[in-house]
Copies of this chain bind each other. A is one copy, B any other.
Amino acid sequence: MTDTHMPPALRFMLAARRSELAGLEGLAQTCELVTSISQLVHALQRERGYSNVYLGCMHPRHLTQLDALSTEARTVEHQVVTLFQRIDLDANTAPDRARLFNRLAFVMHGLDELPGLRRRIRDQRATAVEATAALTRLIGGLLAVVFEAADTAVDPQITRVLVALFNFMQGKELAGQERAAGVAGFSAGFFDATLRARIEHLAHGQERCFQTFVEFGEDAAVQAWRAQQASETTTQVTRLRGVALKTSETDRVDSTLSDMWFELATVRIDAMRAVETRLAEVLLQHCQVSIRQARADLDNHRTLLNRLVSLKTAGCMDQAVLFNVQAVELDSPPPDGLGHHVGRSVLDMLQTQTQRLLSAHDERDEARKALNERKVVERAKRRLMDEFQLSENDAYERLRVSAMDRGQRMVDVAQALLDRVAQRTNRR
């Protein structure tokens, strides 16, 4: 029997299940995209690092290395773009997709400029600062896609993994930025106050990101991360960071430390990739399991409902008993035990489904809370952009600098700003 012959209550119950399944299938596509994006971010981080090295010394040996990394990045880029293009934009108009599509538009826009940027780097028409800025913006755009994916995922378990992955990627990106800042300082032989503050800011940022990752990450990924944290490389990076923070214009270090710092930071960052790969695997597994489960549930559901409906059609029970447990409660007991039992089971199915949907929703919201920090910063940034007609970058910088000046976390500065605005609005 097709769904259309079912009583309306049951048709809606099945439609709810189908919506869930459709949500999971859309999510699986997004997760595939995210996995591929994490690969691209890693490739671009490596390319960014060596672009800086090359632009710093222009040695042909570094150009060979850079070329190899660019080729690698282009291959992943191609995979990502292929996945983008596979999204059927006409069929895919679920309302929760608007923010994701908008982020993808940004990324496409950024990817379009990569060939030109690579040319300018090789022609030495871009400075290290410019090249870094362009690649950092693109990486930021890619991270924003992962963020939206985490913030719109329908499944609680998958949300947890995406929250873990986003935070890990964010932490790794801060490690990449710290590597660049460290190269700048060590090459100069010392870190001035601004650069020292930046290093501290980036180190604390990493700490918070990795904490959230540990809270939400899957066990094997977290263990791999803990092993890395206890490794000799990390110890050495931490030691060099300590050295950096003790330098000043009058208290310099040998500028050859720059190479050592770069090498160690690179080994550390490359090792982090293994954790991301593990999270991507877990993501894939969760998607597969959830979809398989949802499909099986839908089939079971349909089978059970059809059986019930055919019992009714065969005249075993009257509709009131079958589809209305409330009628069952109010009426005298039904003539046989079956009627009551079956009538209950329909309402039970409905109630179980409602409870399950609501619990999943709660759990998902709980996991999403870990994304709030970024949201608060974004909100404060928008507020500054509106109020002072700032660009996005300038607004971010203002927040960052004022956090550094006060020795506070960016999220606290952002929250204080939003609170002040709210107070002002209330006072009016």
Chain A residues near B (Cβ < 8 Å): 3, 7-24, 26-27, 81, 84-85, 89, 92-106, 108-110, 112-113, 116-117, 120, 126, 130, 134, 137, 154, 319-320, 323-327, 330-331, 346-347, 350-351, 353-355, 357-359, 361-362, 375, 378-379, 382, 385, 392
Contact = CB atoms under 8 A, between A and B. Distances in A.
A16 B327 CA distance: 47
Contacts of A354: 99, 102-103, 106
B23 A95 contact: yes
Nearest to A81: B8
Task: Specify how many copies of this chain sit in the oligomer.
Answer: 2
Nearest to A361: B99
Given A94-B22, A95-B154, A126-B330, A109 B16 contact: no
A98 B17 contact: yes
9 contacts: A7-B108, A13-B105, A19-B97, A22-B94, A26-B95, A99-B354, A102-B353, A110-B326, A358-B378
A335 to B, nearest CB: 16
B101 A12 contact: yes
Q: Which of A11, A100, A110 has the most CB of B within 10 A?
A: A11
Contacts of A355: 382, 385
Contact of A95 (B22, B84, B320, B324): B22
Contacts of A93: 15, 18-19, 21-22
A12 B89 contact: yes
Contact of A330 (B24, B94, B134): B134
Given A11-B89, A89-B11, A327-B116, A98 B137 contact: no
A16 to B, nearest CB: 4
